[in-house]
Amino acid sequence: MAQYTYTIYDANPMQANGMAWPSHEDIEIEADSDEEVMDDVRDVMSVEAAGLKTGDGYDVGQTLYALIHDVESDTLLDIVTYEITAEDLSVDQDDS
């Protein structure tokens, strides 16, 4: 198994407005492959998105970002994204 870390951001971390979520900053994760860790992080993002609220400033269609680092090589593996849905925010599509 390979070692990775990930951090989830509420916007593009390569721009000034991308802020890391403190509860998901530099989280260690193991996976058998690069593809597996990317899928695992997307799954985490999906679960976390289900708890978001429009009242906290999140909108349908907003993109969450996660930077995944390979611990052994100390390099950025990839940036994965997740688009917040109306279902995640528990809003009617017509209201969004």
pLDDT tens for each residue of 24-72: 999 999 999 999 999 999 999 999 999 999 999 999 999 999 999 999 9
Assess contact for 49 and 88: CB atoms under 8 A.
yes
Residue 8 has pLDDT above 60, yes or no: yes
To the nearest 10°, the Cα dihedral for 16, 21, 26, 29? -130
pLDDT tens for each residue of 70-79? 999 999 999 9
DSSP letter (8 states) at residue 36: H
Round to whole Å and give the CA distance between 54 and 88. Answer: 10
Per-residue pLDDT, 54: 93
Round to whole Å and give the CA distance between 59 and 53. Answer: 8
Q: 10-19, 60-69, 86-95 — which is least confidently predicted?
A: 86-95
In this prediction the pTM is 0.89
Round to whole Å and give the CA distance between 35 and 39. Answer: 6
Pairing of strands 63-70, 2-9: antiparallel
Extents of the domains making up the chain: 2-91
